[in-house]
Amino acid sequence: MVGILVPISLFLGAFAMIFGIRYLANKEKMAMIERGIDPGIHKATPKPFVSLKFGLLLMGLGIGLLVALFTVRGVFGSNLTHEEESQTVAVYFGCLGVFGGLGLIISYLIEKKWLDQESSNN
């Protein structure tokens, strides 16, 4: 009985939540229109460097995985014991963190250079 009620409850709850959010957003926009306010004003401004940031982060993570793979294969070889396998996990996570962080730092430096050029041009 519980196996049937849980999925039904989850579905109905998700539907009610989505319906409620859309209903309240529509009511808010209608109230803004009634007061003479443009409801499109509070939309987010475009952020040109978000794609760069995520692209460099993902590239850093990919390079980190490749470096970790070559490091593990070079240091431990192909026949791994259980203890060596647990050490390889640390190598993978370490390389992911380091190279992902490097990607974000490079993104920051590119954004800073661009903003400095924009401020010097004005």
Q: What is the mean pLDDT of the chain?
A: 86
Number of separate domains in the chain: 2
Do 76 and 28 fall within a single domain? no
pLDDT tens track for 73-117: 888 777 777 777 777 888 888 888 999 999 999 988 998 898 888
Do 59 and 104 fall within a single domain? yes
Do 92 and 116 fall within a single domain? yes
Q: Which domain holds residue 22?
A: 1-43
Distance of CA 54 to the CA centre of its chain: 7
Q: What is the mean pLDDT of residues 41-52?
A: 71
Do 70 and 16 fall within a single domain? no
- pLDDT, residue 20, reads 95
Percent of the chain with pLDDT over 90: 31
Do 99 and 54 fall within a single domain? yes
Res 43 pLDDT > 70:
no
Distance of CA 37 to the CA centre of its chain: 33
Do 33 and 79 fall within a single domain? no
List of residues 6+ apart from 64 with CB closer than 8 A: 95, 96, 97, 98, 99, 100
Specify the higher pLDDT residue, 62 or 49. Answer: 62
- Cα distance between residue 25 and residue 50, in whole Å: 26
Do 16 and 60 fall within a single domain? no
